[in-house]
Amino acid sequence: MGIDVKVITSGEKKDIGSPYRNMTEEEEERLQEIINKIYYHFISDVAENRNMEISDIEEIANGDIYLGSEAVENGLVDKLGNLNDATLAAAELAGIEGEPRVKYLYHEPTFYDLFAEGATHIGYGIGKAFIEVSNGQDKEIKI
């Protein structure tokens, strides 16, 4: 197709998972090992903090998406509420009496923030165009 990709890194394993080459068996095993450890830590933390058995968590920790009501049914949350409910619950846990004062933090975006956001959109567009051309979805790059 005429598009060559060269990836330059500062180390042998810096491009694990790169879409520009197939993973080695060793890389795939290493990533699977990391994912398995993260999964075990996650279900262990959930089981401990929800006072549930790990086996019960494993049954429902399958990547599914749960509605709030389903999360309550499965014991993953105590109750449903909104931001105000959560604020009042946090205030109660903190021992704050009366109406809690909440300060919402916002920062004006800096020039760098705006520049980085624009660069991200440009990079996404270029990458999408290359992928569409390489997958045969389009015959020319449109940026």
pTM exceeds cut of 0.85: no
Rounded distance, CA 30 to CA 40, Å? 15
Identify whether the C-beta of residue 9 lies closer than 8 Å to the C-beta of residue 15: yes
Q: Is the confidence at residue 102, as pLDDT, over 80?
A: yes
> Where is 61: in which H helix or E strand?
none
Tens digits of per-residue pLDDT, 18-75? Answer: 888 888 999 999 999 999 999 999 999 999 999 999 999 999 999 999 999 999 999 9
